[in-house]
């Protein structure tokens, strides 16, 4: 069987035909994600939601023309972000993205930020029950801001994750949710796998109509195109599906690096500790530390270095090829870079130390930045798996697969044994794997992963450690 796959990302909306029989993707297409609305408060990051629906519909139309016999639609999306809508799926607000920072603004009393106010209201045990997700990007923060400023829509407004809003507009009806996106809201009780009503009430958000949580793989509606009606399966978070696409096993340690990044280990049951706990598939969980500086931090430094050229109308052609080449030729030259250039789990203020004339080059600077990222992954791996009992590393995400210097630096800290994700389109490939489980071809996601691993060779490589410095 073949399916249509959609990944609604932060930078691009991608689609592909998922050939479940041949275990391959075809007709991969992508379009830029709609831009942020301009003229807002500098800390706000909002997108017109109907533009998202339009982009997804256009990609589905294109894919269906190439695959008229498609058996259904699978979707994933950026995990965080929220749009408030009514029971018919009509938007009542714009889509507030995970990059929104209004949670750092003060509560009306002015004594503390909304983010810190939430932390003071939630007990330590409740924080554990929420999966220890204390990050700015979760919707709980902007929703609390709206509540504090008396700007929440009507009491029956539904806080919908992006793909469920899109699905509701494509199919009609009210948005629902699965556990991955419910957890992505920051309001899921990870032990009961239901909304944490106590926390929701504490934050003044119990006037909202929180969506029903449906089983993973459930059919939530039908998309009509021409004379066909295609079932839409419950969308999942891109973070979760990327690890399915990486074919992650319980004895492996995953390092996923794209716009953001994470270190991840599978847990067979709900565990708590100095890390985040996220529900995954088949009753299993992921122990993880997310929101680590990665592609966003790299792009921030690149913008600094190219600002003059950009201002003068000069467009550099593929600066990353030069950056990777130069970083491979040298070491950090004594430079130390902390890549926490934006709020995340490693802080909110980065640094560049020990600059001198001899190391003030692109190669030295980015090699030191890659080393700083590798240091972060090593610290986080120690928190998730202090016994270092993983069999090998698994690299996934575009930034990890394209950057051999970064991989070498990580291996120098965490061990040489590693493999690469089977596809550089890890989310779309993950949707393909999920199609095997969601349609009953395999009884579980775990068995679907095992089937694909047996029939789709993994990419292994022998690292060539050069110009690296052990921490």
Report the CATH number at residue 186: 3.30.420.40
Q: What's the pLDDT tens digit per position in 92-149?
A: 999 999 999 999 999 998 889 999 999 999 999 999 999 998 888 899 999 999 999 9
Which of residues 177, 208, 234 is at a domain's end?
Answer: 234
Which of residues 204, 234, 264 is at a domain's end?
Answer: 234
Q: Quick one: pLDDT at residue 467?
A: 38
Residue 239 lies in a domain: no
DSSP H or E stretch at residue 197: helix 197-202
Q: Provide CB contacts within 8 A for 187, sequence distance 6+.
A: 130, 139, 140, 195, 196, 199, 200, 205, 210
Q: Quick one: pLDDT at residue 459?
A: 54
Q: How confident is the model at residue 318 (pLDDT cuts 50, 70, 90)?
A: confident
Residue 458 lies in a domain: yes
Q: Quick one: pLDDT at residue 457?
A: 63
Q: Which residue has the tokens 């009884």?
A: 443
CB 426 within 8 A of CB 245: yes
Q: What's the pLDDT tens digit per position in 274-311?
A: 999 999 999 999 999 998 999 989 999 999 999 999 99
Q: How confident is the model at residue 466 (pLDDT cuts 50, 70, 90)?
A: very low
Q: What's the pLDDT tens digit per position in 248-265?
A: 999 999 999 988 899 999
Domain that holds residue 336: 247-471
* Together in a domain, 302 and 425: yes
* Together in a domain, 464 and 336: yes
Residue 404 lies in a domain: yes
Residue 240 lies in a domain: no
337: which 2 tokens?
């870079």
Q: Looking at residue 178, what DSSP letter applies?
A: -
DSSP string, 348-385: S--EEE---GGG-SHHHHHHHHHHHHHHHHHHHHHHH-
Q: Quick one: pLDDT at residue 50?
A: 96
Q: Does residue 468 register a pLDDT over 80?
A: no
Q: How confident is the model at residue 434 (pLDDT cuts 50, 70, 90)?
A: very high
Q: Quick one: pLDDT at residue 126?
A: 96
CB 306 within 8 A of CB 316: yes
In angstroms, what CA-CA distances link 58 with 26, 66, 242? 17, 13, 24
Q: Does residue 60 register a pLDDT over 60?
A: yes
Percent of the chain with pLDDT over 90: 86
* Together in a domain, 414 and 362: yes
Q: Does residue 464 register a pLDDT over 70?
A: no
* Together in a domain, 170 and 266: no
CA dist., res. 66 & res. 52, Å (int): 22
């Amino acid at each position: 069987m073949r399916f249509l796959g959609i990944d609604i990302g932060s930078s691009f909306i991608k689609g592909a035909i998922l050939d479940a029989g041949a275990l391959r993707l075809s007709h991969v297409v992508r379009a830029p994600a709609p831009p942020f609305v301009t003229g807002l408060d500098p800390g706000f990051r909002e997108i017109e939601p109907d533009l998202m629906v339009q982009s997804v519909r256009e990609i589905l139309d294109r894919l269906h023309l190439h695959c008229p016999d498609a058996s259904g639609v699978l979707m994933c999306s950026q995990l965080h972000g929220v749009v408030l809508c009514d029971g018919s799926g009509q938007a009542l607000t714009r889509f507030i993205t995970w990059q929104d920072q209004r949670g750092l603004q003060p509560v009306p009393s002015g004594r503390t930020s909304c983010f810190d106010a939430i932390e003071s209201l939630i007990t330590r045990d409740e924080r554990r029950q929420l999966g220890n997700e204390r990050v700015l990007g979760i919707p709980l923060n902007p929703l609390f801001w709206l509540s504090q400023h008396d700007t929440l829509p009507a009491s029956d407004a539904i806080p919908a994750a992006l793909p469920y809003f899109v699905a509701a507009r494509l199919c009609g009806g009210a948005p629902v949710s699965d556990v991955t996106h419910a957890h992505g809201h920051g309001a899921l009780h990870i032990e009961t796998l239901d909304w944490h009503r106590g926390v929701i009430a504490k934050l003044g958000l119990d006037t909202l109509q929180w969506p029903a949580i449906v089983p993973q793989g459930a059919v939530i509606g039908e998309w009509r195109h021409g004379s066909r009606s295609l079932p839409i399966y419950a969308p999942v978070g891109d973070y979760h599906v990327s690890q399915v696409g990486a074919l992650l096993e319980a004895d492996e340690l995953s390092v996923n690096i794209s716009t953001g990044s994470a270190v991840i280990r599978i847990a067979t049951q709900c565990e708590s500790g100095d890390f985040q706990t996220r529900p995954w598939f088949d009753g299993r969980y992921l122990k993880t530390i997310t929101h680590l500086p990665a592609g966003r931090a790299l792009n921030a430094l690149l913008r600094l270095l190219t600002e003059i050229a950009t201002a003068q109308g000069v467009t550099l052609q593929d600066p990353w090829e030069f950056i990777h080449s130069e970083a491979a030729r040298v070491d950090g030259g004594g430079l130390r870079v902390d890549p926490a250039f934006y709020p995340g789990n490693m802080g909110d203020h980065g640094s560049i130390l020990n600059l001198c004339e001899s190391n003030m080059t692109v190669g030295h600077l980015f090699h030191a930045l890659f080393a700083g990222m590798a240091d972060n992954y090593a610290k986080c791996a120690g928190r998730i798996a202090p016994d270092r009992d993983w069999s090998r590393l698994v690299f996934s995400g575009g930034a990890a697969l394209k950057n051999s210097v970064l991989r070498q630096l990580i291996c120098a800290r965490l061990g040489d044994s590693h493999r690469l994700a089977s596809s550089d389109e890890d989310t779309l490939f993950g949707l393909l794997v999920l199609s095997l489980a969601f349609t009953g071809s395999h009884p579980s996601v775990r068995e679907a992963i095992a089937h694909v691993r047996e029939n789709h060779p993994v990419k292994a490589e022998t690292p060539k450690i050069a110009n690296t410095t052990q921490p």
